[in-house]
Amino acid sequence: MDANRQTRDSARLRNFLLIFLAPRGLARRMLVWIIGISTTAALIATSVQLFFDYRSDVSELEQGMRYIEQSQLPGLADAAWNFNVAGMQVQLDGIGHSPWVAGATIHYGPSQSAALKTGKLDPDAGRLFEYVLRRNGVVVGKIYIEPNLHTLYRRTLDRIGIVLATQGGKSLVTSISILLLISWMITRHLTQMAEFAKSFEPGKRFTPFVLRRGPQGPYDELSVLVDRLNDAYGRLQTAHEFQVRHNEILSQEVTQRTTELLEAHRQLAQLAITDKLTGAVNRRGLDEAFKSAIPLADPDSRPLAVILADIDKFKSVNDSRGHLVGDILLREFTSILRRAARATDTVGRWGGEEFLILCPQTTLEQALRLAEHLRASVQAHAFDEIGSKTSSFGVAVLRKGETADDLVKRADEALYQAKEGGRNRVCPEAPDIEG
């Protein structure tokens, strides 16, 4: 029976050692060294014992305070009731001689304004015992007792010293051993992985990470982590290469679409200010041109002139030849104006058969010469299906404090004078009487 038991015990011990010391897993190999942590558990148990010993000392101190309360405070209350100062001092000194008392003070008398004390009281003491002195149901005073904790602390410190002396060496050796073990088996490899992760840059040549240990090293959790790390960075590298190619394609497409969009926007913007029939600037475009030109104009240094042109007897062309011929006439008339105008001038269709030429940095005399040149060019031109055609012009320049409407109104008045004067002529604006 004993032999069988010994055989079973030996088999259990052998199996335990095989499982405990087998290098097939990081956790099992670490388990051997973690046994050293048992010393820490012993230290914790000793600390718990110290705590209970301390609580026992505190309980003994509280019992001493209860003894003083029961045996000595009644006599002190009698002395306070009779205002026996000498008796109170004797009673107070007796309390002060207790090994659990560091000092005490009593307040008595009317409003408890008088006081006696014994021993040394620390005003910053963390704990005071306060008792109310009563005689015949009347409060005759209060006593404050500061417990003597030095004995309590001295006992505790002596016990702590013994524990630290016996367990400190063990804990230090165990901690250093575990620290070295973790550093050798785990930390240094994790540090290598961190350096590899820090040095990894997508786009550069990828070199798989290899643990710095012997070629016959165990395939454990760290080996699995390294394999997963290499796999993750390999897939990240592949994804980066795909992303780079995809971004290049997207960049080319975005550039192309942006160019097309800008061109379409430019065309739309141009169409928005272009007269569909004649190709000249429309009324909206002329309004924008006025908004830009008026703030820059100055009657003295930067004059701004307007020429308002009208095709003579245009309605008769529409009535006799039809609107299609009239449209051809408008397009040819526009071409003449644009060819004869200067590069800085803006030629636009004002409405119907009326056209406006905005002439920046142009005096009245210069505008009149330009208008005369335009009139002569129109008269000399042979229009399709019509032949010769004449036009009338009204010219005005911007005056101080005027708006675009004021300027166009005076040009329109000058054009009206040209029409009334027999057409096919250029008329300037009426002179400024106030000027």
- Residue 353 is a catalytic residue: yes
Encoded tokens for 19:
């499982």
Segment holding 141, helix H or strand E: strand 138-147
Asked if 282 and 349 count as a contact pair (C-beta separation under 8 A), the reply is yes
In the DSSP assignment, the letter for residue 24 is T
CB 391 within 8 A of CB 309: yes
Helices of type H across 104-149: none
Instruction: Name the active-site residue from 353, 354, 420, 434.
Output: 353
Cα(273)–Cα(291) distance, integer angstroms: 14
CA atoms within 13 A on the CB side of 427: 22
SS3 assignment, position 352: coil
For residue 94, with 0-12 CB atoms within 10 Å meaning exposed, 13-18 middle and 19 or more buried, which class applies?
Answer: middle
The three-state secondary structure class of 113 is coil
Per-residue b/e over 237-271, b at no fewer than 16 CB within 10 Å? beebeeeeeeeeeeeeeeeeeeeeeeeeeeeeeee
Residues assigned a catalytic role = 353
